[in-house]
């Protein structure tokens, strides 16, 4: 992004009637805020995956950049222990680093996932809008389920930690109207053998 672009963008938003008046201090404050926003947007553009930034030409010939989609959300449910469980989803993750807060933007979206457990099975429900059933890849171990989609239009990835061990051989999966439902049978723990004294 050129400096000229930023000057034009921020220049249109300045308040020229502040200059040379009692409001000159306010004008200086706005310039400092604009500079801070310019630096933050430059940092954000450096960390954004290239295919989330597109250039578009308007009818008058002006070129503009379009970013996104950027998605961030969370769901709150009450777990079996009565404590709230917070699950994030999307492709934007707030992080804390040595320099302060930071936004991590990934190309893959983390889908909204719900995990429900009964005595016999674990059910994982994931929202995967805009994809075909054939594009969904599932990989299971005895304590995780990995969901991934990699198409030019949509990319999803989520590794779900399961609350109990499962037997992946009896897994059933269905996908309808953008919702994936995976049912995994819990692994039966051996009861052991009686030991005589």
Percent of the chain with pLDDT over 90: 26
Asked if the model's pLDDT at residue 90 lies above 90, the reply is no
Q: For residue range 135-174, what is the model confidence (pLDDT) as tens digits?
A: 999 999 999 999 999 988 888 999 999 999 998 888 999 9
Asked if the model's pLDDT at residue 186 lies above 60, the reply is yes
d(C-alpha 129, C-alpha 154), whole Å:
9
DSSP for 116-160?
Answer: EE-SSEEEEEEE-TT--GGGEEEEE-SSEEEEEEE-SS-EEEEEE
Q: How confident is the model at residue 182 (pLDDT cuts 50, 70, 90)?
A: very high
| Crossing angle (nearest 10°) for helices 3-11 and 24-46 | 140
Q: Which of these, 49, 41, 47, 56, lies nearest to 3 by C-alpha position? A: 41
Q: For residue range 41-85, what is the model confidence (pLDDT) as tens digits?
A: 777 666 677 666 778 788 888 888 777 777 787 778 777 778 887
Q: How confident is the model at residue 8 (pLDDT cuts 50, 70, 90)?
A: low
Asked if the model's pLDDT at residue 176 lies above 80, the reply is yes
The chain-wide mean pLDDT, for the chain, equals: 79
Question: What pLDDT is attached to residue 157?
Answer: 92
Question: What's the predicted TM-score (pTM) here?
Answer: 0.60
Classify residue 80 by its DSSP letter.
Answer: T
Question: What pLDDT is attached to residue 20?
Answer: 55
Q: How confident is the model at residue 185 (pLDDT cuts 50, 70, 90)?
A: very high
């Amino acid at each position: 992004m050129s400096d000229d672009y930023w000057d034009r963008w921020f220049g249109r938003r300045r308040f020229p009637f502040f200059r040379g008046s009692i409001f000159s201090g306010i004008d200086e404050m706005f310039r400092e805020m604009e500079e801070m926003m310019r630096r933050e947007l430059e940092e954000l553009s450096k960390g954004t995956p290239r295919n989330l930034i597109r250039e578009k030409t308007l009818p008058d010939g002006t070129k503009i950049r379009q970013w996104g989609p950027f998605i961030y959300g969370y769901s709150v449910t009450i777990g079996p222990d009565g404590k709230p469980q917070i699950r994030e989803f999307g492709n934007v993750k707030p992080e804390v680093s040595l320099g302060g807060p930071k936004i991590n933007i990934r190309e893959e979206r983390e889908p909204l996932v719900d995990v429900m457990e009964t005595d016999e099975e674990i059910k994982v429900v994931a929202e995967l809008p805009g994809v075909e059933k054939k594009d969904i890849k599932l990989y299971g171990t005895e304590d995780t389920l990995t969901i991934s989609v990699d198409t030019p239009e949509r990319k999803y990835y989520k590794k779900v930690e399961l609350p109990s061990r499962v037997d992946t051989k009896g897994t059933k999966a269905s996908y309808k109207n953008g919702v994936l439902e995976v049912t995994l049978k819990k692994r039966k723990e051996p009861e052991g053998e009686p030991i005589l004294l």
